[in-house]
Amino acid sequence: MIERLQELHDEAMIKVAEAEDLNSLQQVRIAYLGKKGPITEVMKGMGKLSNEERPLVGAKANEVRQSLQRMIEEKEKAFEEAKVLKQLEEESIDVTLPGRPVTKGSRHPLTSVVETIEDVFIGMGFQVAEGPEVETDYYNFESLNLPKHHPARDMQDTFFVSSDLLMRTQTSPVQTRTMEKHQGKGPVKIICPGKVYRRDEDDATHSHQFMQIEGLLVDEGIRMSDLKGIFEAFVKSYFGEDREIRLRPSYFPFTEPSAELDISCAICGGSGCRTCKGTGWIEVLGSGMVHPNVLRMGGFDPEKYSGFAFGMGVERFAMLKYGIDDIRHFYTNDTRFLDQFKHE
């Protein structure tokens, strides 16, 4: 019987090897290992065997069954794996095709500049103040030491609405408005971003509407050296640690002494290039110590209080920062322009 079992084993192994798919393998299993299969038949005749022979045949029968079982399982596994591989192959995609775009809008570069500058000054304890765009002559000019017929009014060509109302030419009127609210008590620490208007023909470097950010600090004992300190902190924070600052005397009716702030040119590092017109410096803002008349008109006692003010052009900052060469781009709203700022 042992030989018979061996014969069956060998015969079945050939059939397993010949099986080409899961189905034929299953048939081999049923044929040889099923309840009606030849091995079971052989085992049924074991009762007739002697006590010595029975364990030997039993062991052989188990060995044959297990061997067959193992072979079939291995072959099955191989078929499964091949099937999965085939499926994966079929599911393969071109991973270089473009992804589904997530639409993202953009922040206008002027807004970007304003918010960044606001944040720098907020960090230094300033608050953001706002004011109307249609202003009175008083706030826009007179309270800033620019009485009617003052020659310096020519520096700013004005859109008048009536004899007393105008489109503000600067964000400085917010100074007086804020000082009034403080009722003569310092400190006042504000920056005021906003739109301003001047009678200029629009071209690459002029715009009848543009944006300014005004700053004002009034308290007891404010010195011109403090203005330098604040500017140094601002410039390093906004333009970068490696930027140097320089103050130059200038003139504004609302400040005395007055100063222009220059920063070292980022393009050439100060050696002189086209951007800085060969000077190594770029003018970024106008500033000065608040004129006593302005303090007085804002309700502050110039004998007790002093302060400084500054004003900068937002477009100019944006043009410097992004290398924009035409101011009209800011107001055309061409999406090829705007879209470039969506990661700013």
Partner 1 sequence: MLISYEWLKEYIDLSDVSPEELADKLTLHGVEVDAVTHLDAEISNLVVGEVISCEPHPDADKLKICEVNIGEEENVQIVCGAANVAQGQFVPVAKVGGRLPGGVKIKRAKLRGQVSEGMICSLQELGFEGKVVPKKYSEGIYAFPEEVIPGMDAVEVLGLRDTVLELDLTPNRSDCLSLLGVAYEAGAILDREVHVPEPKIVPAKEAAEDYVKVTVEAKDANPYYGATMIRDIHISESPLWLQTALMAAGVRPLNNVVDITNYVLLEYGQPLHAFDFDRFGSNEVVVRRAREEESMTTLDGEERTLSSSHLVITNGQAPTALAGVMGGATSEVEDDSVNILLEAAYFDPAVVRQAQRDLGIRSDSSIRFEKGVDPNRVVKAGERAASLIQQLAGGSVLSQPVEYDELNREEKELDITLDRINHSLGTSLSEEDTMNILERLKFDATVKNGTFSINVPTRRQDISIEPDIVEEVARLFGYDNIPVTLPNTPSTKGGLTAAQKQKRSVRRYLESCGLHEAVSYSLTTPQKEAAFEALSAPRVHVALPMSEERSSLRTTLLPHLLDALSHNRNRNLYNVSLYEIGSVFHTDADIVTEQPEEKTYLAGAFTGLWEEHAWQGEKKQVDFFVVKGILEGLLAELKADVAFEKAEQQGMHPGRTANVLVNGEVAGIIGQLHPVTAKEWSLPEVYVFELNLAGLLGKQEDVMRYQAIPRYPAIERDIALVVDKSVSAGTLERVIRENGGNLLADVRLFDLYEGEHVASDKKSVAFSLRYLDREKTLTDEDVAAVHEQVLEGLREETGAVLRA
Report the site for partner 1 in 290-329 (rule: CB under 8 A).
291-292, 306
127 binds partner 1 (CB under 8 A): yes
Stretch that binds partner 1, among 30-38, 85-93, 117-125, 316-324 (CB under 8 A): 117-125
Please say which residue, 161 or 204, places its beta carbon nearer to partner 1. Answer: 161
Q: Residues 24, 40, 116, 209: which binds partner 1 (CB under 8 A)?
A: 209
Q: What DSSP designation does 191 have?
A: E
115 binds partner 1 (CB under 8 A): yes
- The residue among 249, 261, 256, 248 whose CA lies nearest residue 294 is 256
Stretch that binds partner 1, among 1-9, 14-22, 50-58, 97-105 (CB under 8 A): 97-105
Please say which residue, 19 or 146, places its beta carbon nearer to partner 1. Answer: 146
Please say which residue, 47 or 99, places its beta carbon nearer to partner 1. Answer: 99
Rounded CA separation 284/268 (Å): 16
DSSP lists the bridge partners of residue 248 as 260
165 binds partner 1 (CB under 8 A): yes
Q: Is there a contact between 262 and 282 (Cβ–Cβ < 8 Å)? A: yes
125 binds partner 1 (CB under 8 A): yes
Please say which residue, 38 or 270, places its beta carbon nearer to partner 1. Answer: 270
Rounded CA separation 333/344 (Å): 17
182 binds partner 1 (CB under 8 A): no
Stretch that binds partner 1, among 20-28, 220-228, 235-243, 266-274 (CB under 8 A): 220-228
Please say which residue, 9 or 177, places its beta carbon nearer to partner 1. Answer: 177
Widest Cα–Cα separation across the chain: 137
- The residue among 123, 131, 153, 117 whose CA lies nearest residue 252 is 153
Q: What type of residue sits at position 138? A: Y
Stretch that binds partner 1, among 1-9, 50-58, 81-89, 111-119 (CB under 8 A): 111-119
Structure tokens at 107: 């922040």
**Min dist. Cβ of residue 43 to partner 1 (A):** 56
**Min dist. Cβ of residue 120 to partner 1 (A):** 10
**Min dist. Cβ of residue 282 to partner 1 (A):** 14
The three-class DSSP label of residue 335 is: helix
Q: Residues 61, 179, 222, 282: which binds partner 1 (CB under 8 A)?
A: 222
Q: Roughly how many angstroms between the first and final C-alpha of the chain, as a whole number?
A: 87
Q: Residues 63, 223, 301, 326: which binds partner 1 (CB under 8 A)?
A: 223
Report the site for partner 1 in 51-90 (rule: CB under 8 A).
none
Report the site for partner 1 in 231-260 (rule: CB under 8 A).
232-233, 246-251, 256-259
**Is residue 52 part of an annotated ligand binding site?**
no
For every residue of 234-292, DSSP letters joined together read HHHHHH-TT--EEEEEEEETTEEEEEEEEEE-TTTTTS--TTTTTSSEEEEEEEEEEPH
- How many chain residues touch partner 1 (CB under 8 A)? 85
For 109, phi then psi, to 5°, come to -55, -30
Work out whether strand 281-290 and strand 188-197 pair parallel, antiparallel, or are unpaired: unpaired
Q: Which helix (H) or strand (E) holds 304?
A: none
Burial grade of 162 (CB within 10 A; 0-12, 13-18, 19 or more):
exposed
Please say which residue, 15 or 107, places its beta carbon nearer to partner 1. Answer: 107
142 binds partner 1 (CB under 8 A): no
- How many other CB atoms sit within 10 Å of the CB of residue 245? 17
Q: Residues 12, 28, 72, 110: which binds partner 1 (CB under 8 A)?
A: 110
208 binds partner 1 (CB under 8 A): yes
* Positions at the binding site for Mg(2+): 256
